[in-house]
Amino acid sequence: MTDLNKEAISVLNDLIETSKDGQEGFKSCAEDIKQPDLKAFFVQRAADCGTAAAELQSAVRSLGGDPETSTSVTGDLHRRWVDVKSIFTGKGEEAVLNEAERGEDHALKAYKEALEKIDKHQLLHIRDLVVRQLQGVQRNHDEVKALRNRARAQS
């Protein structure tokens, strides 16, 4: 395996963890929301993150690597913190959307850092995949932010 493939696999595995974190985070949001439209939104975003993770895992396998299969420790800790915090603040719509936006902020940062590594190491064979997924992460972020702003305005 070439050094470029090893670097590409490392970048993709980091993004798999990020996608798995998003999947679990959106599932958690869906569990905490009563409004059917918002619940459906979170369920769909969880599925989208699962699809993104599967696509990244396939790319890792095609490069001869072993794909990551779990969430990150940081993501697990964040979800536990949200659970503890919600005991005191509740799990209202705005609070859930705030945490979802925070998660998407992290995902955006992870994808942008991945692109920097891709460009630095000239890993052009995975760039299109990562750019396309980054666009999905940006869309998720923007939609969550708009929903949060609407919930904030209504409270």
- Extents of the domains making up the chain: 3-154
At 96 the pLDDT is 87
Of the candidates 76, 135, 144, 131, the one whose C-alpha atom is nearest the C-alpha of residue 104 is 144
Torsion of CA 2, 72, 59, 101, to 10 degrees: -130
CATH 1.20.1260.10 fits 3-154, yes or no: yes
For a pLDDT cut of 70, what percent of the chain falls above it? 86
d(CA 143, CA 128): 23
At 90 the pLDDT is 59
Residue 19 token pair? 């996608």
At 93 the pLDDT is 86
The DSSP annotation for 39-65 comes to HHHHHHHHHHHHHHHHHHHHHHHHTT-
d(CA 117, CA 121): 6
Q: pLDDT tens for residues 30-86? A: 988 889 999 999 999 999 999 999 999 999 999 999 999 977 666 555 555 555 445
At 77 the pLDDT is 54
Query: Looking at 1-155, which runs of residues are DSSP E strands?
Result: none
For a pLDDT cut of 90, what percent of the chain falls above it? 66
At 144 the pLDDT is 95
